[in-house]
Structure 1
Amino acid sequence: MIERPPGFADGTHVAGRQNLRLLIQLRWIAVLGQVLAIVVAVDGFSLALPLFNMALVVGLLIVYNLFSQLRLKWHFPVSQIELFLALLVDVMALTAQLYLSGGATNPFIFLYLLQVALAAVLLQRRTTWMMAGVTSAAFAGLVLTHHHGYTLPLDLGGGLNSPFVLGMLVCFALNAVLLAAFITRITQNVRTRDARLAALRQRASEEEHIVHMGLLASGAAHELGTPLATLDVILGDWAHAPAVAVDAELQRDVRDMQAQVQRCKAILSGILMSAGEVRGEVLTRTTVTAFLDGLVAQWRQAHPWARLKYSRRIDTDAVVIADQGLQQMVFNVLNNALEASPTLQQLTAVLENGQLMIEVCDRGPGFVREVLDSLGKPYRSTKAQPGRGLGLFLSHKVARSLSGTLSANNLPEGGACVTIRFPLSALTPEDADESVK
């Protein structure tokens, strides 16, 4: 069994084989049409055609078509050059038959336009124009010369000096150019549309999977609310227990556990709020400065060993809503920076002209080209662990929900930066019409 080459199942290779199969089918129709035309011309119109030579052309075309069918059984991709050569063989066969049966006086000469149309649909723009040039040159050659033993009753003597012949040549060339131009453009539009639809289908499939994960996370958040509330009550009782009250170390442990329970409840609230549900909490109004400072303080508390440098430049300390989705997005980017560069992370926030920019940089190895090229797509990760690669994808979705963007780049001196930009109006409450001074 012949092994298929890598990428054989790619859509381009499949389309190439299908196009070659279509040319084979059309060539069988052409063979049948040529035989029928010769029979009608000889028996119906009593025209004295060079039957041996014309039959030889038909025979060679049949042999080539049989070889093409055998070629389809070989598991190799069909290239544009191969399709162009196949069309060129058809043009040569048609030129030979026209040469033997009257040249430019043969009404079947306009079958050249079929080859131009096929090239415009199947081939790239450059090869399409080459086919238009080849057929126009063949037309001009047939005007100047044909088989000396036979001429059709229509006399086109004078060659290119004849206004009628010159008009036919100009008409053919014009038709070939228009076919090549417009069919090529239409085909390109169709291919662009198909590529856009394929991208939309891929995106819908990815988002459907993420929505499914979000539903599972939302359900888990609901389920975890009850045991966390129970733990909160129990820890509250422990805090007032006599055995704990006299032991300072136990008091510290209980306070730490209560803080972690509250943090878990806050995370669950953020998940449910992002999913459009609320666990009884109201939306928190704050300012840009307080929101960013609190975000950094909370992340530092959860990662006390991290070395995060934080700076901000805020031109107007406006009232905003403490968006849980934005907070989780920044936490995710910071977590990635900490994993890539445990010794140093840097967060810079700049608010200018109503646009908030949050930049997280590290001094790690940077992003590989594959991740940069597919930024915003799920499961694009170099970490060989199942389920990885969703962080930047989800962050990209959050940024887009805020009418913003998320971009990533590698630094010349080493390390990487992730930049989040969005209009501050996406976080501004509707009834906040003045800034906090």
Structure 2
Amino acid sequence: MPETGPPQTLFEHPHRANWIRLRTLIVLRWVAVAGQSAAIAIAHFWYDLQLEIGLCVLAIGMSVIANLVAMFIYPANKRLNETETMLMLLFDLAQLAFLIYLTGGLHNPFALLLLTPVTIAATALGLNAVLIVGAAAIGLVTFVAFGYLPLRTVQGFVLRVPSIFLFGSWTAIVIGVSFLALYARRVTTEIATMGDALLATQLALAREQKLTDLGGVVAAAAHELGTPLATIKLVSSEMADELKADADRESLLEDSQLIAEQADRCREILRAMGRVGKDDLHMRTAPLGAVLEEAAEPHQDRGKALHFDLQPGPGNEAEDQQPEVHRSSELIHGMRNLIQNAVDFSAGHVWIEARWTARRITVRVIDDGDGYPPHLIGRIGDPFMRRRRSEEERRKRPEYEGMGLGLFIAKTLLERVGAELTFANGSDPFLAPEERPDRSGAIVEATWPRARLVAEKDETRAALGLNRPFQT
């Protein structure tokens, strides 16, 4: 089941054209001007074709003038909005079509270049703008197929292709406009969507890392301040006893100096931790069950029962001790997203199972909900996955948009630490409620090679030493 979506203001692309610099289109237009000028010169002077040179120069000159105006009026770093980009592409399309009209229409093989503005529009503009540019391209191609100035040689011969080839050229260009626009837009949209999803993953991981670091700071503070605070407590108690007994004042002076030294030590520790923080070495590794419980902790009190089932895998019953695993932010946040998704869609129970062998560690998250929609199982893990929801689903979760971002983040983070994820249903979702087993809902299975997840014995048994500052 897809997870709730991200804030739309952050991850949608209503203004992708704002990414395009005016300078980029100006450079492309200069390249087009150079190519058009070279083609006209070769056709006229090398092949002796009788062209309307004046009109051709006028057509090319319009692009030159447009570039010069844009260069002098706008700054070099100007970025175009969608309307400005569309108008520039329509201008280039019209200029190229006029040049094709002057040089034989579709009998000119360079008519294929009419696809270029459409492809650029498909990669940079919204759907409405792409449709406008595509419709303009098809209209202009149709016009130059019937209306054009023929190509003539010096002897007066007209260069033309057979009608069937002319129709084939028109069909190919129209299909090319439609196909390239659709294909380029689809690829660009998927790339942008994946970029947004990866950005969301990085933000989620950064947030989890900050929370982990904060926990490390707190634990390190308690660990490092324990000894000096105990010393202060002991010395202050002794001073109180001596004051009651009215003993020698010299010992009180020594004790007060010791208290001052320990207070200074506490101050230095707090100052160092407040400046960059320290990584608590006690939190680097933890038993597998403790890590899973930490991941599930935010969802313990949401009205659903969480059941933990941790035991050795088949053939490893003698190894009843849980493996010590690296307590990484990716592992915790990834498992937390999977558990959240299960809690969101369960009827009342979620099972978190863990099995370990000498080679692999497997964790399953199972719920007793309706399971994944069968037609979407193959797409689970894709970001921003939308599907039409029934009225019953809307009533159950009116805030849920079905974007799939949570599962994408979970899958991406867990794969970073070596996991392989599979998604399935515990039973046929079309069975009647009384026919379903308890664990009938969605199943997510994450499997790691043991070496990728389990900490070495030296890491868990060796002396930890001093806590080290966080890397900044």
TM-score, length-scaled by structure 1: 0.51
Corresponding residue of 1:28? 30
CA offsets, 1:348-380, max 9 Å, x none? 77455859xxxxxxxxxxxxxxxxxxxxxxxxx
Instruction: Tell whether 2:286 aligns with 1:275.
Output: no
Secondary structure class of the residue paired with 2:43: helix
Q: C-alpha displacement at 1:44, in angstroms?
A: 0.6
Taking structure 1 as reference, are residues 422 and 220 closer, same or farther at Cα in structure 2, changes over 3 Å only? farther
CA distance 1:401–1:139, change in 2 (3 Å): closer
Read off the aligned partner of 2:111 and give its amino acid letter. I
Aligned partner of 1:153 in structure 2 is 158
Contact 2:16 2:126 in 1 (8 A): no
Q: What is the Cα deviation at residue 156 of structure 1? A: 4.9
Cα 1:424–1:155 change in 2 (3 A) is closer
Q: CA deviation at 1:84?
A: 1.1
Q: Is the contact between residue 274 and residue 325 of structure 1 (CA under 8 Å) also seen in structure 2?
A: no
Alpha-carbon distance between aligned partners in 2 of 1:133 and 1:219, rounded to the nearest angstrom: 65
C-alpha deviation, 1:79, in angstroms: 0.9
Q: Distance in 1 between matches of 2:75 and 2:337?
A: 53
**1:222 Cα offset (Å):** 0.8
Give percent identity, aligned residues only: 24
Separation (CA, whole Å) in 2 of partners of 1:21 and 1:422: 56
SS in 2 for 1:48: coil
In structure 1, the residue corresponding to 2:49 is in which secondary structure? coil
- Distance in 1, matches of 2:152 and 2:124, equals 36
Matching of residue 198 in structure 1 with residue 199 in structure 2? yes
Report the counterpart of residue 88 of structure 2 in structure 1. Answer: 86
1:120-161 Cα offsets, whole Å, 9 max, x none, are 22222332233222112111101111137969832358xxxx
What SS does structure 2 have at the residue aligned with 1:121?
Answer: helix
Q: 1:105 is matched with which residue: 102, 107, 113?
A: 107
Measured in 2, the distance between the counterparts of 1:193 and 1:424 equals 29
Q: 1:31-73: per-residue Cα shift (whole Å, max 9, x none)?
A: 1111111111111111221111111121121111112223541
Partner SS for 1:84: helix
- Name the structure 2 match of 1:175: 176
SS in 2 for 1:94: helix
What is the distance in 1 between the residues matched to 2:106 and 2:76?
Answer: 39
Q: Report the CA distance shift for 1:183/1:110 in structure 2 as closer, same or farther (over 3 A).
A: same
For 1:118, give the aligned amino acid: I
Task: Give the structure 2 partner of residue 131 of structure 1.
Answer: 133
Aligned to 2:339: 404
Number of residue equivalences: 281
SS at match of 2:159: coil
Does residue 65 (structure 1) correspond to residue 76 (structure 2)? The answer is: no
Q: Point out 4+ residue stretches in structure 1 off by more than 4 angstroms.
A: 11-15, 74-77, 148-152, 227-238, 271-274, 323-327, 347-355, 397-403, 420-426
2:112–2:173 contact (8 Å) kept in structure 1: yes
Shift of 1:235: 10
Find the aligned partners of 2:193 and 2:147 in 1 and give their Cα distance.
43
Label 1:220 to 1:41 Cα distance change in 2 as closer, same or farther (>3 A).
same
How do residues 386-425 of structure 1 correspond to structure 2 at under 5 angstroms?
A: 401=336, 404-405=339-340, 423=351
Q: Which has the higher contact order (CA 8 A, sep 6+)?
A: 2
| Distance of aligned partners of 1:181 and 1:348 in 2 relative to their CA distance in 1, 3 Å threshold | closer
Match runs of 1:1-400 below 5 Å? 16=18, 18-73=20-75, 77-147=79-149, 153-156=158-161, 162-227=163-228, 229=230, 275=283, 350=303, 352=305, 354=307
Distance 1:26 1:77, change over 3 A: closer
Matched-pair contact (CA < 8 Å) for 1:119–1:127 = yes
Where do 5+ consecutive residues of structure 2 fail to align?
1-8, 245-278, 309-328, 343-347, 355-472
Q: Distance in 1 between matches of 2:193 and 2:306?
A: 37
Cα distance in 2 between the residues matched to 1:227 and 1:324:
32
Specify the code of the residue in structure 1 equivalent to 2:198.
L
Q: 1:109, CA displacement in angstroms?
A: 0.6
CA RMSD between the two structures: 4.9
Separation of aligned partners in 1, 2:223 and 2:105: 83
* Native 8 Å contact 1:274 1:324 kept in 2: no
- The alignment partner of 1:99 has SS state of helix
Measured in 2, the distance between the counterparts of 1:400 and 1:224 equals 33
Mean CA deviation greater in 141-150 or 52-61: 141-150
TM-score, normalised by the number of residues in structure 2: 0.48
Distance (whole Å) between structure 1 residues aligned to residue 74 and residue 43 of structure 2: 35
Cα gap change, 1:134/1:349 in structure 2, threshold over 3 Å: closer, same or farther? closer
Letter in 1 for 2:193: T
Q: Does the CA-based 8 Å contact 1:21-1:72 persist in structure 2?
A: no
Which amino acid is the alignment partner of residue 86 of structure 1? M
Q: Is the 8 A contact 1:403 1:423 kept in 2?
A: no
Deviation at 1:165, TM superposition (A): 2.1
**In structure 2, do the counterparts of structure 1 residues 221 and 131 end up closer, same or farther at CA, with 3 Å as the change threshold?**
same
Is the CA contact (8 Å cut-off) linking 1:20 and 1:78 kept in structure 2? yes
8 Å contact kept, 1:403–1:422: no
Measure, in 2, the Cα distance between the counterparts of 1:14 and 1:351.
42
Q: Structure 1 230/399 Cα, relative in aligned 2: closer, same or farther at 3 Å?
A: farther
User: What is the match of residue 417 of structure 1?
Assistant: none
Shift of 1:202: 2.8
Distance in 2 separating the partners of 1:35 and 1:201: 49
Gaps of at least 5 residues in structure 1 are 1-6, 244-270, 284-319, 334-346, 356-393, 408-419, 427-437
Deviations 1:384-414 (A, max 9, x none): xxxxxxxxxx9xx78954963399xxxxxxx
For the 8 Å contact 1:19–1:122, the answer to whether it is kept is no
Q: C-alpha separation between the residues in 1 aligned to 2:119 and 2:49?
A: 31
Q: Is the 8 A contact 1:399 1:405 kept in 2?
A: no
Partner letter of residue 72 of structure 2? L
